[in-house]
Structure 1
Amino acid sequence: MSIQGVIPPLVTPFDAEGEVDESALRSEVRFLLDAGVHGLSLGGSTGEGALLLDDELVRGLEILSDEAAGRCPLVCGIIRNSTRDAVRAATRAVAAGADALMVTPTFYHGTDARGNYSFYQDLSGATDLPIIIYNVIAQNPITPEMMMDISQIRNVMGIKQSVGGMHGFNAMMSTCGALTNVYGAQDDMLVFDYLLKATGSISAILTVFPELCVQQWDAVQAGRIDEALEIHSRLVPVWQMVSCAGMAFPGRVKKLLELLGRTGGLPRKPVLEPEPDVTAQLRYALEQANLLPEELPEVRV
């Protein structure tokens, strides 16, 4: 399958006991598919993938595969701290129906250029699935120079560029854009990634506002830049309320879904829901952007 366009990373809904709420996950998959997205991703940062056991990742993929029924590619996030564990998760993802892997560099000890090359080479040898590098680890970034080498590995087909802001994206695109696919991941800058010819995007804002984000992608592809920029201006103030939370952002993303009447569930501890005053600020930002539903849902406080 072609892996391009708007590929939202799903949240993983948890219940009060910290278990995966499969019904809520199915509801989110259906909502995103109905919005016309071009792919689905599970197990990334938005989905709290570093907190998921292999069994949970596999079960989530089975649910996605069942609901999508071949309508779009399924990209499985792999966030593990050793080659052995990443290979094991990747191998199981193949059997569960993944069409591609999105693999984060190791994040606890990190490594160097030689270690990163070895990591992705071993993953490529373990499966025949396309691999997208998820370049998000600030202490172990994949530089454009590293990517020049890594992109030559069989099965490595792209990079999701999440570090370095627009300068980082531009450097990766200008250095490696002719060699591999570069995906946008900066929630408040996606329109500019598209203008720089990103292959697509895999970013949390897509899972919150899929219809608008698909419209924005389509507008850029059709040359309707003013329309795309209008959507950008509408969404950015809302997203600024999410991004200021740092690495605890899954709780705010799920609260946004709840405010929109959807079923994002709870985050998995120690990630917590936002405080009531933050929830009120999120609601206000949605109201100002005219994005609140007409019938407001009941929201946990």
Structure 2
Amino acid sequence: MHYKKSEAKEWAREQMRGVCNIILPTFTSDLKGLNEKAIRHDVRRTIELGFWGSLIVSECGTTHDEYIRFLEIVLDEAGGRLKTVVHGSFDTLDDLIKVTRRAAEVGGHVLLLSYPPTFYPRHDQDIYDFTSSVLGEVNLATVLFPVHQWNFDRVHPSCLSIDLVDKLADLPNAVAIKAEGGPPGNGQIVELLDRCADRLLISDPRESSSPAWIKMFGMQWMGTSNFEYFGNTVPRYFDMLQKGDLKGGMELYWQMHPARSARLADMQTFAGAYFIHRASWKYQSWLNGFNGGPLRMPVMRLSDGGTRRLRDAAVRAKVIDDSVSGGLDEYYLGRNPA
């Protein structure tokens, strides 16, 4: 562990500064095992682009043992140059606790808390009991995560009510919140700042809002999402805005807007699935130098039309060169085939 449980909030205030992308697993071409060379390639590319850290994604068909090995490879290749966010997305509460404990033992830095698809709370107390059970059993600094995908908006429109978050914020290893609850609008952000900013780092991963949040309340950490699609643009403009260079930061912000718009349009194509199109996210990262390669089922399919729009928008945004072909045949092969 990088800190004591009682030190988690202080550690987060000091260490969680910058932008957190994602790293998806890469498998061998027969999908029988992890492609270690490819994973190491993606870690080096993430560091090169200037990210603070990466969410090590668990929703791509890895077994529990493979997920821990995936995390170990990332940590070994990073050599302390990259923080790791453990993706707490597993089938059951028991699985979540067991795997997350192992992740802490091998050196994971932070936990992003998710909820199993079969978890069906009826009241705030049900969500509190589940969440506090995890944080009680696991020592990792934890990012709370309200989002519509949990189907919690029937309990409260913001997915996690402010009273619930206020109570969870008192837990010693609740250190931040990835605030995506209650769209559209910024009502949840306003309530969180009013009630919980003394105990939680408030983060909105929807990077298009980051100029406002940096200026208005000094948002110091943004994550987690597939910001690597934009190359190094998001870490660069985020850093500029943090340092008060509004002009330089906003020039980059607007330069990447064609790619931002294409990415948001792509997300709308699977909005009703309550699931992230991980193959699309992996394709987007491949456009900007990551490995690419196939993912295990269940995984959504890629289309020539959809990927072409993402590639062309990235060219217009000047985050990739026009020489990048974007062909799916090349993407499925990957840059380090095994």
Give me the TM-score of the superposition, normalised by structure 2.
0.79
Which of 212, 236, 246 is the aligned partner of 2:233? Answer: 212
Q: Single out whichever of 154-163 and 119-128 deviates more from structure 2.
A: 119-128
Unaligned runs of 5+ in 1: none
Per-residue deviation, 1:15 = 4.2
Q: Following superposition of structure 1 onto structure 2, how do residues 1-301 of structure 1 map, counting pairs within 5 Å?
A: 2-18=15-31, 19-43=33-57, 49=59, 51-111=61-121, 112-136=123-147, 137-140=149-152, 141-165=159-183, 166-167=185-186, 168-195=188-215, 196-242=217-263, 243-246=267-270, 247-293=275-321, 295-297=323-325, 299-301=327-329
Cα distance change of structure 1 residues 20 and 109 upon mapping to structure 2, 3 Å threshold: same
Cα distance change of structure 1 residues 284 and 295 upon mapping to structure 2, 3 Å threshold: closer
Q: How many residues align?
A: 297
Distance in 2 (alpha carbons) for counterparts of 1:232 and 1:171: 27
Per-residue deviation, 1:252 = 1.8
Cα distance change of structure 1 residues 133 and 248 upon mapping to structure 2, 3 Å threshold: closer
Cα distance change of structure 1 residues 50 and 172 upon mapping to structure 2, 3 Å threshold: farther
| AA aligned opposite 1:6 | V
Distance in 2 (alpha carbons) for counterparts of 1:11 and 1:190: 24
| AA aligned opposite 1:148 | D
**Displacement over 4 Å in runs of 4+:** none
Per-residue deviation, 1:295 = 3.7
Per-residue deviation, 1:151 = 0.7
Per-residue deviation, 1:81 = 4.3
Cα distance change of structure 1 residues 252 and 122 upon mapping to structure 2, 3 Å threshold: same
Q: Which residue number corresponds to residue 333 of structure 2?
A: none
Distance in 2 (alpha carbons) for counterparts of 1:88 and 1:58: 11
Unaligned runs of 5+ in 2: 1-10, 153-158, 330-338
Distance in 1 (alpha carbons) for counterparts of 2:28 and 2:146: 30
Instruction: Give the secondary structure class of the aligned counterpart of 1:163.
Output: coil
| AA aligned opposite 1:201 | M
Cα distance change of structure 1 residues 115 and 82 upon mapping to structure 2, 3 Å threshold: farther
1:73-125 alpha-carbon deviations (Å, 9 max, x no partner): 22111013432221111111112211121111344333232122222222222
Distance in 2 (alpha carbons) for counterparts of 1:106 and 1:95: 23
Cα distance change of structure 1 residues 102 and 150 upon mapping to structure 2, 3 Å threshold: same
Distance in 2 (alpha carbons) for counterparts of 1:272 and 1:13: 16
Per-residue deviation, 1:148 = 0.2
| AA aligned opposite 1:204 | S
Distance in 2 (alpha carbons) for counterparts of 1:84 and 1:248: 23
Per-residue deviation, 1:220 = 1.2
Give me the TM-score of the superposition, normalised by structure 1.
0.88
Per-residue deviation, 1:288 = 1.4
Verify the 8 A CA contact 1:143 1:172 in the aligned structure 2. Answer: no
Distance in 2 (alpha carbons) for counterparts of 1:69 and 1:284: 35
Distance in 2 (alpha carbons) for counterparts of 1:13 and 1:55: 15
Cα distance change of structure 1 residues 225 and 125 upon mapping to structure 2, 3 Å threshold: same
Verify the 8 A CA contact 1:194 1:200 in the aligned structure 2. Answer: no
Verify the 8 A CA contact 2:86 2:110 in the aligned structure 1. Answer: yes
Verify the 8 A CA contact 1:10 1:207 in the aligned structure 2. Answer: no
- Bigger Rg, structure 1 or 2: 2
Distance in 1 (alpha carbons) for counterparts of 2:289 and 2:262: 18
